[in-house]
Structure 1
Amino acid sequence: MDHVGIVVEDLAAAIAFFGELGMEVESEMPVEGRWVDRVVGLADVRVDIAMMRTPDGHGRLELTTFHTPAAIRAEPADAPANTVGIRRIMFAVDDIDEVVARLRAHGADLVGEVAQYEDIYRLCYVRGPEGIIVALAEQLG
């Protein structure tokens, strides 16, 4: 897998949110032209994208904001975790409480609560900008 793409309305907020999860901006650029129209099946596409990578360099996100045509919301921003489609991206973290506190500074909220799975993990879902759900996993021991 090369990367996961996420369409957002507020690119700066999404970059800040994923930055708190340790991701780093690899590149930012405007994208437009006939070639992108052909790839995505839309006309007159004009977007800004930010490629972000995990610190280990193995994972990447492409955050995209559409200027034209306008983005369309396919579901409510607060869609529940059992909504069909890609629901979350999971991040391994060292201190789940500390990461949740940092994400709250960017407007994120817990979807449920932090829960422990046996003596192996502490886990939670956090809803961030654009209703994006990220899962956090802190390995115990």
Structure 2
Amino acid sequence: ELTESIFNAEYERINNILNTLRQAGVQIFLDDFGTGSSSLARERELNIDCLKIDKHFIDKLMEIDLTKAITGDIISMAHKMGHCVVAEGVEWDVQKQYLIANGCDKIQGFLVSKPLHEQEALELLNNQSEK
């Protein structure tokens, strides 16, 4: 995962590093999308795999119509660019339903699980795979 602050770094050097990681099979996620200084043109040049919509948008999702529209547009735009979309900070079923209805690929947040240590995460995954 990279944060939008990556756009303030030495761009060509960062892009070379990301290409090396990608060749090794690592997927590149842009974290906290919508809160920093990224531009769509620069994001496109990095050729990331997935955008993670910042919790700030998800918190206001059911309160502010403009936030709903922007979130839906981010999902649509990301898909058109060939990216998957993860929504961070999902805490309520109504948020999840809106995100699913608008094509969000994955969600993270307390609705799914509290933060877990490695062993707890493995147990959770094992329990879910048995169902």
Fold conserved between structures, TM > 0.5? no
Q: Which has the higher helix share?
A: 2
Shorter-normalised TM-score: what interval? under 0.3
TM-score, normalised to structure 1, is 0.27
TM-score, normalised to structure 2, is 0.28
Q: Which has the higher strand share?
A: 1
